[in-house]
Amino acid sequence: MSILVVGSVAFDALQTPFGKIDRCIGGSATYFSVAASFFSPVDLVAVVGDDFTEQDASVFKGRNINLDGLQKVPGERTFFWSGEYGYDLNVAKTRDTQLNVFAGFKPKLNERQRSADVLFLANIDPDLQMDVLKQTKRPRLVALDTMNYWITSKKDALAKIFSEVDLIIINEAEVRQFMGDSNLVQAARAILSLGAKTLVIKRGEYGVIMITKDSIFAAPAYPLENVFDPTGAGDTFAGGLLGYLASRREITDRELRRAIVFGSVLASFTVEKFSLDRLREISLREIQERYQDFRALTHFDDAE
| Residue 296 CB-density burial (10 A; 0-12 exposed, 13-18 middle, 19+ buried) | exposed
Using the minimum distance from each CB to ligand AMP, give the nearer residue, 83 or 139. Answer: 83
**The dihedral sign for the CA sequence 93, 33, 209, 166:** positive
Using the minimum distance from each CB to ligand AMP, give the nearer residue, 8 or 268. Answer: 8
Supply the DSSP string of 189-200, one letter for each residue.
HHHHTTS-SEEE
Using the minimum distance from each CB to ligand AMP, give the nearer residue, 154 or 189. Answer: 154
CB of 232 to ligand AMP, least distance (A): 5
Distance CA 36, CA 246 (A): 9
Alpha helices in the chain (DSSP H): 28-36, 54-57, 111-114, 126-135, 148-153, 155-162, 172-179, 184-192, 233-246, 253-270, 284-298
Using the minimum distance from each CB to ligand AMP, give the nearer residue, 55 or 285. Answer: 55
Using the minimum distance from each CB to ligand AMP, give the nearer residue, 80 or 244. Answer: 80
CB of 111 to ligand AMP, least distance (A): 27
CB of 226 to ligand AMP, least distance (A): 17
List of residues 6+ apart from 258 with CB closer than 8 A: 244
CB of 71 to ligand AMP, least distance (A): 16
CB of 28 to ligand AMP, least distance (A): 5
Contact assessment for residue 63 and residue 34, using Cβ atoms and an 8 Å cutoff: yes
Contact assessment for residue 78 and residue 9, using Cβ atoms and an 8 Å cutoff: yes
Using the minimum distance from each CB to ligand AMP, give the nearer residue, 9 or 245. Answer: 9
CB of 100 to ligand AMP, least distance (A): 11
Distance CA 222, CA 225 (A): 10
CB of 287 to ligand AMP, least distance (A): 18
Q: Among candidates 275, 249, 246, which has minimal Cα distance to 263?
A: 246
Q: Which long-range contacts (CB under 8 A, 24 or more apart) does 281-286 make?
A: 284/38
Using the minimum distance from each CB to ligand AMP, give the nearer residue, 24 or 194. Answer: 24
Using the minimum distance from each CB to ligand AMP, give the nearer residue, 26 or 49. Answer: 26
List of residues 6+ apart from 162 with CB closer than 8 A: 144, 168, 191, 194, 195, 196
Q: Enter the DSSP assignment of 78.
A: P
Q: Which residues bind ligand AMP (CB under 6 A)?
A: 8, 10, 12, 26-28, 31, 81, 97, 123-124, 147, 149, 231-235
